[in-house]
């Protein structure tokens, strides 16, 4: 039986740890001033690696804010944090490998999210930034110039090229009008994509083989789920042209990382622009860091001032609602019993 949800908070300050809060964009956001008499937030700017370190740092906290999938809250971790009452995440979709929802429910730990979609446009913007950076070799040109060289070398343009969009949902569909503005042909594929749906969005639905085999740019826009892990596999990469590039701003686990490293090393594709990785932060010894045809960013597709200005106030709302015994945007079953305002799971 699920443990009972803990009730109205007493007068003592509720301590919250904002994990992986690089640049303290969450922990020092002015929205928290609304609760400063009742809530204390601390930013952990460095990744807490390993269960032992995580438990040691969090043992004095009742609440935790997670940043993307960087720090899993497993059953084992939660069992060692008896004071933990509330886990906050950005968004409403959960990967059970990041938060063990069943374990949280058994322990009466609420998991609450945010509704804002502010991260979708910024992720699309970064995807195009990575496309430009790889095709026009912008990072290499910048570095060479800073080192004293003046040796302009040609990049590749977009006009007349084909972009293949893997996944034509909220993110992928926003890629289409931009691609067409550059004079590109737009191909799209996903498991359940219908031809009419793609046509309405300005794209052409094609087969998996054709998308990977004919596209000059392949950009991944698929949600991470059990089904989508390894969605772009070694065979897909083998179909790509030696002049084509792969862009991934979705989640690292969606692309077979070992196969992608091999394709880049063997020059079977021309390059990759990556914002997400199978394991984050990316290890110093990872091959991606040392391949000359990669452009890498540290999972910042969502990370804009506008994103945090939209999401942090909602996190503050979640905490306030919890503290007064009326939790909102609850994402786990045990939390539904504690909500009194009819907005459970929205």
Residues 87 and 210: their CA atoms lie apart, in Å, by 43
Residues 184 and 162: their CA atoms lie apart, in Å, by 5
Residues 87 and 99: their CA atoms lie apart, in Å, by 9
343 is catalytic: no
Element housing 273 (H / E): strand 271-274
Write the burial class of residue 12 (CB in 10 Å: 0-12 exposed, 13-18 middle, 19+ buried): exposed
CA distances in angstroms from 173 to 3, 155, 339, listed in the order given: 42, 26, 35
> Which residue is listed with tokens 């930034």?
129
CA distances in angstroms from 41 to 34, 74, 169, 288, listed in the order given: 12, 22, 35, 35
CB-CB neighbours of 336 under 10 Å = 16
> Which residue is listed with tokens 């007068």?
11
Q: Give the long-range contacts of residues 71-76, CB within 8 A, separation 24 or more.
A: 71/19, 71/20, 71/47, 72/97, 72/98, 72/99, 72/100, 73/98, 73/99, 73/100, 73/104, 74/100, 74/103, 75/100, 75/102, 75/103, 76/51
Catalytic pick among 280, 311, 314, 329: 280
Residue 194: closest CA among 216, 169, 230: 169
Residues 334 and 192: their CA atoms lie apart, in Å, by 33
Question: What's the CA angle centered on 105, arms 99 and 111, to 5 degrees?
Answer: 50
311 is catalytic: no
Q: Which residues pair with 247 in a beta bridge?
A: 219, 273
Catalytic pick among 187, 299, 311, 329: 299
Catalytic pick among 9, 68, 221, 251: 251
280 is catalytic: yes
Active site positions, annotated: 251, 280, 299
């Amino acid at each position: 039986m699920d443990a009972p949800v803990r009730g109205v908070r007493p007068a003592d300050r509720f301590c919250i740890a904002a994990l992986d809060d690089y640049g303290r964009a969450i922990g020092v956001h002015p929205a928290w001033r609304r609760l400063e008499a009742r809530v204390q937030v601390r930013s952990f700017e460095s990744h807490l690696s390993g269960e032992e370190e995580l438990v040691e740092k969090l043992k004095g906290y009742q609440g935790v804010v997670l940043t993307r999938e960087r720090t899993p809250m497993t059953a084992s971790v939660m069992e060692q944090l008896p004071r933990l009452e509330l886990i906050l995440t950005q968004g409403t979709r959960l990967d059970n490998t990041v938060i063990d929802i069943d374990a949280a429910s058994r322990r009466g730990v609420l998991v609450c999210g945010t509704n804002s979609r502010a991260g979708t446009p910024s992720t699309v913007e970064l995807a195009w930034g990575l496309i430009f950076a790889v095709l026009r070799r912008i990072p290499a040109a910048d570095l060479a110039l800073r080192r004293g060289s003046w040796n302009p070398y040609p990049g590749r343009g977009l006009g007349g090229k084909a972009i293949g969009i893997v996944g034509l949902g909220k993110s992928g569909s926003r890629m289409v009008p931009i691609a067409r503005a550059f004079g590109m042909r737009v191909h799209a594929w996903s498991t359940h994509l219908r031809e009419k749906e793609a046509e309405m969005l300005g794209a052409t639905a094609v087969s998996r083989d054709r998308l990977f085999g004919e596209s000059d740019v392949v950009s991944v826009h698929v949600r991470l789920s059990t089904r989508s892990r390894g969605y772009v596999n070694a065979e897909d990469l083998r179909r790509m042209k030696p002049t084509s590039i792969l862009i991934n701003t979705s989640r690292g686990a969606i692309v077979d990382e070992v196969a992608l490293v091999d394709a880049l090393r063997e020059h079977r594709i021309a390059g990759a622009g990556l914002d997400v990785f199978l394991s984050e932060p990316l290890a110093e010894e990872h091959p991606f860091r040392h391949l000359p045809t990669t452009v890498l960013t540290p999972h910042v597709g969502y990370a804009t001032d506008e994103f945090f200005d939209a999401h942090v106030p909602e996190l503050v709302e979640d905490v306030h609602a919890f503290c007064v015994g009326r939790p909102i945007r609850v994402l786990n079953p045990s939390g539904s019993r504690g909500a009194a305002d009819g907005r459970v799971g929205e």
